[in-house]
Amino acid sequence: MKNKTTKKISKTYLIKKNNHISSNMKLQFYYHMQLMRKFEETVFKLYRQGKVVGGAYSSEGNEATAIGSAFALEKNDYLFPMHRDIGAHFVKGQSVKNLMLNYLGKSQSPARGHDGTGHYADMKLKIFGNISPLGAMIPLANGVALASKMKKEKSVVLNYIGDGGSSIGDFHEALVMASVMKLPLILIIENNQYAYSTHISKQFIVEKLSDRAIGYGINGITIDGTDVELVYKTTKDAVENARKGNGPTLIESVTMRMQGHAIHDDASYVPKKLMDYWKKKDPIVVYEKKLFAEKILSDKKKNEILSEIQRQLDEASDVALNSPFPVWEDANEKVFAE
Amino acid sequence: MKTLTYIEAISEALWEEMERDKNVFLLGEDIGKYGGAFKVTKGFHEHFGEERVIDTVLAENAIIGAATGAAMMGMRPIAEIQFADFVSNGFNQLVNNSAKIFWRCNIPVPMVVRLPSGGGIHGGPYHSINPEAWFFHIPGLKLVAPSTPYDAKGLLKSAIRDNNPILYFESKFLYRRIKGEVPTNDYTVEIGKADIKRNGNDISIITYGTGVHWSLEAAKILEEENIDVEVLDLRSLIPIDKEAIFSSVKKTGKILIVHEDTLTGGIGGEIAALISDNCFEFLDAPIKRIASPDTPIPFAPTLEDHFLPNTKKVLSALKSLAKY
């Protein structure tokens, strides 16, 4: 049944044709997607060596969603990434070294060893790393959006959630509040087919997760999350809309989690056919081909990018491995702020 | 000095802090034009505007989450949970976000959650609980529970100015039932400091909130029997004033802990353990507790009267302690 709301949604979300992406920006997309993948490969290597503790998570398949969306933000905007968006931290200005320190739980890391992986927050960079369970981030992102609005900053908040995370009550509560209060929130559901081992068929029966936007009276759209330029343009549109005071947008970005939930999980429950389908849509491979065809990328340029990334990762790993662990006395005193 | 009811003291603290600091704002259900279910914020909407007195959707996780996020941004939100019972809906935000963010991220979370608590108003199982023990266990939250208008105003001002998440347990039974003297000028009551509401040498009652009033009445009655009862009002549950507790134990050697919350897992057990660990050799009697029995809070007046602690129950426990 069509109503006013659905009409509004389809009208709002014609991607702007004049939304030009420069060659330089395309190279930035490529660089950051590669950095994201190589960073996680390094983390996996260190995990297998026993240097990274706890867990290691792969975002393979999600690079276009994380990078394309993060590039739609301005410096004064806020980022609430989840664990499949490590590259978004770097786009927002976090250093490879700091994040590596955080994975290793070292005292000089952003979370000072009180927490690990992408779990930290940096008010200066306006990054609020993931919270578990992930859905609990959305009400918090609302609070940041509300305060930002009260301070008249004209900033927006970009938050990500998974297909699984969209089932928790916080998702509903937060979108109800954000829509009524017209908060500048962009919520991207990264539908990567699986929540741990649970297939999306057991998570929802709607055709598109963005259909849920109708229920909140907000804009919603479903896009191919492996297309970095499409993700960028869509998010940019939503960001501009939120900045104008038109309230939140729900974007479903359809991707595939190409590895298990974490390093311990071999994802043997994923049918081979599904994996094969998505392998052909590897966001980095596809984009690399496109940039070669557009003569923006060459073998020489590619090698330069990859060796620069490797240099950064080697340096960051070296610093992180040789950095001290925190001591209990410091941690014990920091339960309350002064 | 002027005389205020307990609820007026709360309203005044909110009003004055909002006048003092533009970062202070209120959010909650029906707190705007309607003035709140108990009228604590009556007139606020007109004076401070809807941007600082925010009527929210009926969703406690969203309310507490938004308060937490705004606090991280340097605002000083005060969330009203319409009945303390409903805070269970916002439990995850409080225990996983508000409580942990400073420790995890080194970012202060200056927020207050106001929790109209307790029974005695025939609210039944969903509108009467005292949920402080749920949060007493969570590192990172401060808990305060005033018993008088003076403490209600002074503690709320301290809570608003504090840089941590604070749960403010206000007794809705006391709202309009007690009056007390409050200074006309600005003052605060330090969080973490207990207050001796009555000096005594024979038995110490350690209590807070409504328990203070039953205890004072019981102590007064025992004057006639020449039993000299001390009433220590904790005022803050976290941080708890261990020094004040231990010094009272050392003075009297006989301890009665009184709280309206149910017995098992109530904070009285922790206080008893603290005393046992630190003052064992000063005790002349077993540590006694008066609390509500371990059932949901009943509705019918006959049942609720039986359920809640009262002066008579406190009196009887004091008499049994006096025999040691």
Average pLDDT on A231-255 reads 96
pLDDT score for A329: 85
Is residue A133 reached through a cis peptide bond, with omega within 30 degrees of 0 on the bond before it? Answer: yes
Whether the per-residue pLDDT at A4 is higher than 90: the answer is no
State the best of B64, B91, B92 to mutate against chain A, taking most chain A CBs within 10 Å: B92
- Residue-wise pLDDT for B66-104, tens only, equals 999 999 999 999 999 999 999 999 999 999 999 999 999
Domains (range + CATH), chain A: 4-14+23-321 (3.40.50.970)
Residue B69 and residue A141: Cβ atoms within 8 Å? yes
pLDDT score for B298: 97
Whether the per-residue pLDDT at A3 is higher than 70: the answer is no
> CB of A182 within 8 Å of any CB in chain B?
no
Whether the per-residue pLDDT at A15 is higher than 70: the answer is no
**Token pair of B13, please?**
């603290």
pLDDT score for B97: 97
Average pLDDT on A82-97 reads 97
> CB of A131 within 8 Å of any CB in chain B?
yes
If you measure CA to CA, which chain B residue comes closest to A137? B65
How far A282 CA lies from chain B's nearest CA (Å)? 34
How far B140 CA lies from chain A's nearest CA (Å)? 5
Q: What are phi and psi of A12, to 5 degrees?
A: -65, -35
pLDDT score for A16: 56
Q: Phi-psi category of B106—alpha, beta or left, where left has phi over 0 and alpha has psi -120 to 50?
A: left
CA distances from B116 to B10, B250, B298 (A): 11, 34, 18
CA distances from A99 to A117, A261, A264, B27, B153 (A): 7, 20, 21, 35, 45
Percent share of chain A, pLDDT over 90: 91
- Residue-wise pLDDT for B95-109, tens only, equals 999 999 999 999 999
CA distances from B295 to A7, A78, B137, B298, B312 (A): 53, 46, 21, 8, 20
d(CA B193, CA B240): 7
- Residue-wise pLDDT for B209-247, tens only, equals 999 999 999 999 999 999 999 999 999 999 999 999 999
Whether the per-residue pLDDT at A20 is higher than 90: the answer is no
> CB of A264 within 8 Å of any CB in chain B?
no
- Residue-wise pLDDT for A273-329, tens only, equals 999 999 999 999 999 999 999 999 999 999 999 999 999 999 999 999 999 999 998
For tokens 């919350």, the residue is B261
**Strand, coil or helix: B205:** strand
Environment class of B50 (CB within 10 Å of its CB; exposed 0-12, middle 13-18, buried 19+): exposed
Environment class of A80 (CB within 10 Å of its CB; exposed 0-12, middle 13-18, buried 19+): buried
Q: How confident is the model at residue A331 (pLDDT cuts 50, 70, 90)?
A: confident
d(CA A115, CA A110): 9
How far A230 CA lies from chain B's nearest CA (Å)? 30
Domains B2-182 and B195-322 share a fold: yes
- Our CA angle for A322, A323, A325, nearest 5°, is 125
Residue A335 and residue B101: Cβ atoms within 8 Å? no
pLDDT score for A9: 39
pLDDT score for A7: 36
If you measure CA to CA, which chain B residue comes closest to A128? B105
B127 is catalytic: yes
Q: Residue B77 forms beta bridges with which residues?
A: B25
- Sign of the CA dihedral A178, A183, A189, A195? negative
Average pLDDT on A64-88 reads 97
Among B73, B93, B102, the residue with its CB nearest the CB of A139 is B93
Question: What DSSP string describes A224-281?
Answer: ETT-HHHHHHHHHHHHHHHHTT---EEEEEE----S-SSTT---TTS-HHHHHHHHTT
Whether the per-residue pLDDT at A158 is higher than 80: the answer is yes
Alpha-helix residue ranges (DSSP H) falling in B21-87: 44-48, 60-72
**Token pair of B264, please?**
């098992």
Judging contacts by C-beta atoms under 8 Å, the chain B residues touching residue A176 are 57, 59, 62
Among B61, B103, B142, the residue with its CB nearest the CB of A139 is B61
Tell me which of B127, B213, B259, B306 is the catalytic residue. Answer: B127
Quick one: CA torsion of B193, B195, B200, B201, rounded to 10 degrees?
0
Average pLDDT on A72-78 reads 97
Q: How confident is the model at residue A18 (pLDDT cuts 50, 70, 90)?
A: low
Average pLDDT on B181-207 reads 98
Instruction: Classify B2-182 by CATH class.
Output: alpha beta
Judging contacts by C-beta atoms under 8 Å, the chain A residues touching residue B75 are 147, 150
pLDDT score for A11: 37
Q: Are B181 and B151 in contact (CB under 8 A)?
A: no
Alpha-helix residue ranges (DSSP H) falling in chain B: 6-20, 44-48, 60-72, 91-92, 101-105, 132-136, 149-161, 210-223, 242-252, 267-279, 301-307, 311-322
Provide the 8-state DSSP code for B79: E
- Residue-wise pLDDT for A28-50, tens only, equals 999 999 999 999 999 999 999 99
- Residue-wise pLDDT for B120-153, tens only, equals 999 999 999 999 999 999 999 999 999 999 999 9
CA distances from A114 to A331, B106, B194 (A): 7, 10, 32
Q: Are A288 and A297 in contact (CB under 8 A)?
A: yes
* Mean pLDDT across chain A: 93
User: Which of these, B170, B156, B165, B141, lies nearest to B69 by C-alpha position?
Assistant: B165
- How many residue contacts between A and B have a Cβ separation below 8 Å? 126
d(CA B69, CA B101): 10
Domain ranges of chain B: 2-182, 195-322
d(CA A238, CA A158): 10
If you measure CA to CA, which chain B residue comes closest to A336? B140
Among A140, A150, A172, the residue with its CB nearest the CB of B65 is A140
Question: What DSSP string describes B261-299?
Answer: EESTTSHHHHHHHHHHHHHGGG-SS--EEEEE-SSPPP-
Residue A138 and residue B71: Cβ atoms within 8 Å? no
Judging contacts by C-beta atoms under 8 Å, the chain B residues touching residue A170 are 61-62, 65, 92-93
CATH for the stretch B195-322: 3.40.50.920
pLDDT score for B94: 98
Helix (H) or strand (E) holding B143: strand B142-144
If you measure CA to CA, which chain B residue comes closest to A146? B70
Q: How confident is the model at residue A333 (pLDDT cuts 50, 70, 90)?
A: confident
Whether the per-residue pLDDT at B28 is higher than 80: the answer is yes
